[in-house]
Structure 1
Amino acid sequence: MSDDHTKVQEFFGARAADWDSRFPDDGPAYRAAAAGLGLRPGDRVLDAGCGTGRALPALREVVGPSGAVLGADLTPAMLQAAQRAGRERHGQLLLADVAHLPLRSESLDAVFAAGLIAHLPQPAENLRELRRVTRPGGVLALFHPIGRAALAARQGRQITPGDLRAEANLGPLLAGSGWRMTSYVDEDARFLALAVRQD
């Protein structure tokens, strides 16, 4: 396992037990983001870097009982917290690295990724892997329940010009990884960038 993976596991492993209690009011933001994906009953969606699985109930609501919801995360403690919260009822949990997903090519209709992009060790390459598992015309949602400025303030830091989530940086990054950004929202109450997989 790479040093990057070890650091991510250590960071989230240490925070898994109380993760949900630190952000108790995020549910409506997750539901609104999931509803905005344009998914239909029966669709297949992956929550990439699912953490404690907070998005899984919202994703299940939009794809219905006939759809498939998967949650993949690199950190065992996060998946254990998802199980304790009963979220495996809403989707299948996978211990997996988003850089090497154990999924068939073009098998998904959408990928939902909450707070993931800042933790990707090789963003362009990792976004290409998410593209690989998504069908042509499928959707990628890069989400955070608060915007960039609010998140930076919470963490006691400033937004830097090199922030991957800045629209001027994210659009070209997605384009170079086989995605076309279709919408971009960065406001205090949420961050949501949507992209469509190019052929």
Structure 2
Amino acid sequence: MRYAAADADDDARRSSDSARRALGGAPPGPAVVVLDVGSGTGLLAEHVAGLVGPTGKVLGIDPLPLRVQIAQQKAKANLSFQVGNAYALDGLPSGSFDVVYLNAVFHWLPEKTESLRQSHRLLKPGGRIGLTTGAKDHPNRLQAIKREVLSREPYARYPESRDGRLFAIAHKPASH
């Protein structure tokens, strides 16, 4: 299976749609400072860094060091990543961000108030918080399909790992 130019266009469109939703409908302009809470491997943060341009800045934080390590491969002058979480943003100065967003993160947080309090503290006057979320108790169609496919053989033999990966890579025995 090859990755075609149409796939790249679809990926870019999805990133743009996610950014627009997470940023409250209006993309940030030049010189805007953005915090991506729960940035994962940095795909959306990288897209947003392109929107804010060289005079803006995007910081992505994620609690999992492996995801941050992957994201750091996307780092550039206006895009950086660090390990952190939505409850403990004390190392970031108050009033330092124009936009703070949590894309597909908020519904996973067991306690919502502190993450919102932390995000609000970080905003400059007139800044905005963006949330895009699903309901972990009501999975979307893609999650339902994933669960259905992974319940079948041979995938059902591979439980989800504790380190966050969906399944481990196993060598397939040679067929005779």
TM-score, normalisation: structure 1: 0.57
Say whether the 8 Å CA contact 2:32–2:56 is kept in structure 1. yes
Q: CA deviation at 1:118?
A: 1.9
1:41-77 Cα shifts (integer Å, max 9, x gaps): 0010011010000112211122110111100111001
In structure 1, the partner of 2:106 is 117
TM-score, normalisation: structure 2: 0.64
Cα RMSD (Å): 2.6
Secondary structure in 2 matching 1:55: helix
- Paired amino acid for 1:153: A
Say whether the 8 Å CA contact 2:45–2:58 is kept in structure 1. yes
Q: CA deviation at 1:136?
A: 3.0
Percent of pairs identical after alignment? 32
In structure 2, the partner of 1:195 is none
Matches within 5 A, 1:1-199: 26-35=11-20, 36-83=25-72, 86-89=73-76, 91-101=79-89, 102-143=91-132, 149-151=140-142, 153-154=144-145, 156=147
Change (3 A) 1:38 1:155: same
Runs of 4+ in 1 over 2 A off after TM superposition: 24-27, 32-38, 147-157
- Paired amino acid for 1:135: K
Say whether the 8 Å CA contact 1:34–1:59 is kept in structure 2. yes
1:143-182 Cα shifts (integer Å, max 9, x gaps): 369x96335534559xxxxxxxxxxxxxxxxxxxxxxxxx
Gapped regions of structure 2 (runs ≥ 5): 1-7, 149-176
Gapped regions of structure 1 (runs ≥ 5): 1-23, 158-199
| Greater fraction of residues in strand | 1
Number of corresponding residues: 131
In 2, Cα distance between the equivalents of 1:26 and 1:111?
Answer: 23
1:103-133 Cα shifts (integer Å, max 9, x gaps): 1111100012121112213111211111111
Secondary structure in 1 matching 2:43: coil
Say whether the 8 Å CA contact 1:56–1:87 is kept in structure 2. no
Greater Rg by CA = 2
- Paired amino acid for 1:87: K
Change (3 A) 1:143 1:154: farther
In 2, Cα distance between the equivalents of 1:41 and 1:118?
Answer: 30
Tell me which moved more, 53-62 or 136-145: 136-145
- Paired amino acid for 2:14: A
